[in-house]
Structure formats: C-alpha cells, structure tokens
Structure 1
Amino acid sequence: MSPRSQPSERQRRLGAELRKLRNRAGLSGDQAAVILDADRARISNIEAGRIDVSRNRLYKLLREYGCPDGPLFDGLMEMAQELGKGWWDEFRDAMGRNALDLAELESRSTAIRMHQPLFIPGMFQTEDYAREVILATDGQDHDHAERCVGFRMARQRVLDGDSPTTYHAVIHEAALRIRVGGLTVMRKQLLRLIEVARLPNVTVQIFPYEKGAYAAFSRPFVLFEAATPELNTVHLEHPLNSVFLGDGERIDEYAKMFERLTELALAPVDPQVTPESHDSRDSLSLIQHAMYEL
C-alpha cells in the first residue's frame, strides 16, 4: 500500500508520539527499522502518519522504546487499533479533513474545555443559529450549508448518551450580543444555551466586558483531554486553516490560560436554580439580561 498523502490528525499524532519516544530512547530511525525488520523509509512514513503500524509491530516498538505499561502505552495501542471510522464518514462529501478530524477527536476525548469569544460554541448551537453563522462566515450555497448544519448538529451527540463527555466552555459576553440572524433566532439560541448549561456534564461561564482585555479573549481554542496528559490536544481555530497542537509545553500554556479565564469569568450556570428565581450576578443572570434586551 502506498503512503497516504493526507493522514488524519489521529494518524499524525500517533506517529509524532512514536518519534518522541524513539528520540527519548536514543534510537535512530535505522535502529528502529531493525526492530521491525523494515527499512528506514517505513519508519519515516509511520512517524509521519502516512502508513499504519499494526498492533503487533507497535507493541514491539513501544517495548523497545522503553514505554512503560500504563495509560500512555494503552492510549497509543488504542490509537493504532482505531480505524478512524465513525458517523462523520457520512459527511466526507461536504466537510474537509480538518472538520472530520475534529469530530473524531471529540468522540474519543474524556473532557473538553473551550474558549469562544465571538459566537456561541458549535456544540451548543441551534440549527437556525448554526445555519446563519455558516452562511455568514463561509459563504456556502444553501445545499452545502445544510450539510454543514447537519454535521454540526451531529457533533453535539457527545454531550448526551450513556457516557457523555465533560464539557466546560468560557464564552465572551460579545457572543451573547452579536446579532446572528433575527431576534427569534437569537432568543431561541440563548434559551438553548441555558438549557445545555443545565446538563450535569456541562459547565458554562460568561466572560463579561468589564473584565477587560485578557490575553486570550480574542482567541478561540479548545483543549481536548485524553486518558493520559501526554495525549492531550489543543485545537486553534483559524479562518483558513485550523491547527492541532500536541506539544506538551504549548498545551500546558493553554491550560493555564483557560484556568485564568475561568477565574476572571462569572460563576457558572447553576443547574439547580431556575431562571425565574435567579437574581445574582453570574453567568445565568448575564445570559438572561442579554436575552431580555433583544
């Protein structure tokens, strides 16, 4: 099988982690090739995610690289076993590689932390709000936009089911104020935000204007947590080409940034308090206030 030209994020990440372990063990690519009774080009392609590595061969490499039993060993073995197939395959005709990678990463994350400064996060959007955002930002034709809306709605399934993912979002107040669609679209969207925020696995905090220009307030990012910190990932949204980061130091930086955002943001929506009886200054009251000002 010839090397693939566009490996998925999972395939790239598995290869990158193998390269880290090989370098840490002080082994060259040629020495790794001897372990698998292969040539140097095969090791290069595995580490670039261009070809797959079987579980037996991966097991052999991990042992020779000195990777101990535990979450990292198990996590890498699981990544090699996964075929990258899932519900997102139904949308390959409409969505790019980056979007499909995002859905796959969401499906296998144990927890997700997000900062969004301008829009309600896609995981919380109504169909009407999502449609308006997609048409405004991507300029797609109607049929393609509908496929994109369907994809975004399907991604939301990680929030419910038998094993819902833990999700913590810090949303800037600007996202509550920017008019997306008409009044009806915005009112329904803010009501939906309150509804989702009441799920036991979801935490929503609003970052108010009065907290000023914190360093991250204009930069959307998502932290994906795996079973072991070594496999955590950061996703940076860019208009033309979003980026996935797997470097531990960079991930730590974004984790600290997120913690600072949670400290500056208002207290999260309390699922035990109904909107009608709420009068304290926190995230729920600010969402209510924005909704009633529409």
Structure 2
Amino acid sequence: MPPRSSPSERQRRLGAELRKLRLRARMSSDNAAKLLEGERSRISYIESGRLSVSHNRLHKLLREYGCPSGPYFDELMSMGQASGKGWWDEFTDTIGPAARDLAELESRSAVLRTHEPLFIPGMLQTEEYAHAVLSETEGNPQRTNRYVEFRLARQRILTGDTPVTCRAVIHEAALHARVGGPNVMRRQLLRLMEVSRLPHVIVQVFPFEAGIYSAYSQSFAIFGGVPPELDTVYLEHPANSLFLRDGVQLDEYAKMFERLCELALAPVDPESAPETHASRDSLSLIQHVMYTL
C-alpha cells in the first residue's frame, strides 16, 4: 500500500508518539526498520502518519522502544487499529478533514477544558445560537443547517454513556453579545445554567473586572486523553485550525487554563439556594445579564 498523502490527526499523533519513544530509546531509524524487516523509509512514513502499522508490528515497536504496559500503551495500540470511521462520516458532504479530525479527537477524549472570550463554547450552544453564529460565516442556508447539525451532534459526548468531563471558562463579553437577538440569548444563557446541572460540567465566567488576561489567551480547547501523555490543544481558525501536541506547548496552555479558572468567578451551581449567593459568582452574573436583555 502506498503512503497516504493526507493522514488524519490521529495517524499523525500516533506517528509522533512512536518517534518520541524511539528517540527516547536512543534507537536509530535504521535499527527500527530492521525490527520490521523493512527499509528506513518505512519508519519515516510511519512516524509521519503516512503509513499504517499492523497490530503485531506496532506491539513489537512499543515493546522494543521500552514503552511500559498501561493506559498509554493500550491507547497507542487502539489508535493504531482505529479505522477513523464514525458518526462524522454522515457529514462528509459539508465538513472538511480538520472538522472530522476534531470529532474523532473528541470521541477519544476523557476531559475537555475550553476557553472562549467572545462566544459561548460550541459544546454548550443551543441550536438557535449556533445557527446565528454559523450563518454569519456561511452564506449558503443549506450548508449552514448542516454545520449546525454537525455541531449539535458533537455535543453528544456530554450526554453519552461515558460522558466527557467538561470545564468551560467563558468571558463576560460572550454573555452580553446579542447573538441572534435578545430572545435567542436568553435561551442560550438559560441553557448554560441547565447544562451546569450535569455533574461532569463546570461553567465559570471570566468577569470584566478580572482584567485582560482572558483576552491575551484567546480561544482554545484542551482535550485530555485517557492517558495524559496524549493530551491535545486545539486552536480553531477559519483558514487553518491547529492541533498542538508538543509537551512544552501543552504545559503552557494547561497553566494558562488554570490561571483563567483562578481569576474567573466561582462556578455555576444551579442547585444552590439563593441565600448562598451573597458574593458575586458565575450564576448570579449569568442571571443578571439574562434579566437585563
């Protein structure tokens, strides 16, 4: 089988992890190729995600590279055998490779940490709100509707049998932006309070008075793998979205998110009694904005 020209993010990540393990084991490409009884170029193709590796050969490489048994080993094996097919295949008429990569990444994640300075995070959007946002960037009504369907389908990871733990920090500016008009925004803010009742969802608001730290960090999401070694930072961009997997970059974004949580108001707790809101928190701010729309 010839090398693929456009590997998926999962395939690229598996290749990057194999390269990292090989270098950590101080093994040359030539010696790694000998393990597979192949040419040096074969290892290069595997490490760039352009060539698949069979179950037995992947297992052999991981063992020879000194990768210990455990969640990390198991997940790499799983990534190597995954077909890349899923519910997102229903949307190939509309979405591109980056969106499919995102949906597959979400399906393999255990934790989602997301920061949004201007909009409500896509995972927490209502259908009306999503339609209002997407219609501004997509002039074709039919394509807009498909994009909305895709976004809502992605939200299933919050309500499935093994839901993803989600923590969102949303800038106060996103609450005031009248996306779709006052009625759409009221229902969207109500949705934030409703979804916060889920035990695995935490919503915090970053208030204006906390300063400009939130603006500097821009929009990003951190997807936590089953083993933390496979965490991924996702930066959405209309022209070219980015998947960051470098350890230093991951650490920087993780620290940035923790700082955002520290500066943000206390999380939304819709079940708490009114008298417990003596001090300003995320819930009281969302309610205030909703009642003033």
Q: Under TM normalisation by the shorter chain, which class is it?
A: over 0.9
- Determine the C-alpha separation between the residues in 2 that align with 1:180 and 1:46: 45
2:240 aligns with 241
Percent identity of the aligned residues? 66
Residues 253, 284 of structure 1: CA spacing in aligned structure 2 closer, same or farther, 3 A cutoff? same
The count of corresponding residues between Structure 1 and Structure 2 is 293
Confirm or deny that 1:195 pairs with 2:194: yes
Write out aligned runs for 1:53-202 (5 A): 53-136=53-136, 138-202=137-201
Offset of residue 139 of structure 1: 2.7
Offset of residue 276 of structure 1: 10
1:221 aligns with 220
Q: Is the 8 A contact 1:9 1:101 kept in 2?
A: yes
74-83 or 7-16: which moved more? Answer: 74-83
Offset of residue 183 of structure 1: 1.4
Offset of residue 68 of structure 1: 1.2
For structure 1, which runs of at least 5 residues remain unmatched after alignment?
Answer: none
Residues 149, 215 of structure 1: CA spacing in aligned structure 2 closer, same or farther, 3 A cutoff? closer
- Determine the C-alpha separation between the residues in 1 that align with 2:133 and 2:282: 23
Offset of residue 81 of structure 1: 1.6
Residues 274, 103 of structure 1: CA spacing in aligned structure 2 closer, same or farther, 3 A cutoff? farther
Residues 204, 183 of structure 1: CA spacing in aligned structure 2 closer, same or farther, 3 A cutoff? same
1:52 aligns with 52
Give secondary structure in 1 for the equivalent of 2:205. strand
Deviations 1:93-144 (A, max 9, x none): 11011111111111111111001110000001111110111111x2330000
| TM superposition score normalised by structure 1 | 0.96
Paired amino acid for 1:183: P
- Determine the C-alpha separation between the residues in 2 that align with 1:18 and 1:218: 31
Q: Is the 8 A contact 1:33 1:42 kept in 2?
A: yes
Offset of residue 217 of structure 1: 4.5
Paired amino acid for 1:21: L
Q: Is the 8 A contact 1:275 1:288 kept in 2?
A: no
Give secondary structure in 2 for the equivalent of 1:144. helix
Residues 140, 12 of structure 1: CA spacing in aligned structure 2 closer, same or farther, 3 A cutoff? farther
Give secondary structure in 2 for the equivalent of 1:68. coil
Offset of residue 263 of structure 1: 0.4
For structure 2, which runs of at least 5 residues remain unmatched after alignment?
Answer: none
Paired amino acid for 1:228: P
- Determine the C-alpha separation between the residues in 1 that align with 2:143 and 2:273: 38
Once superposed, what is the RMSD of the aligned Cα atoms?
A: 1.6
- Determine the C-alpha separation between the residues in 1 that align with 2:42 and 2:161: 40
- Determine the C-alpha separation between the residues in 2 that align with 1:125 and 1:107: 18
Offset of residue 274 of structure 1: 6.1
1:38 aligns with 38
112-121 or 80-89: which moved more? Answer: 80-89
Offset of residue 215 of structure 1: 5.8
Q: Is the 8 A contact 2:55 2:77 kept in 1?
A: yes
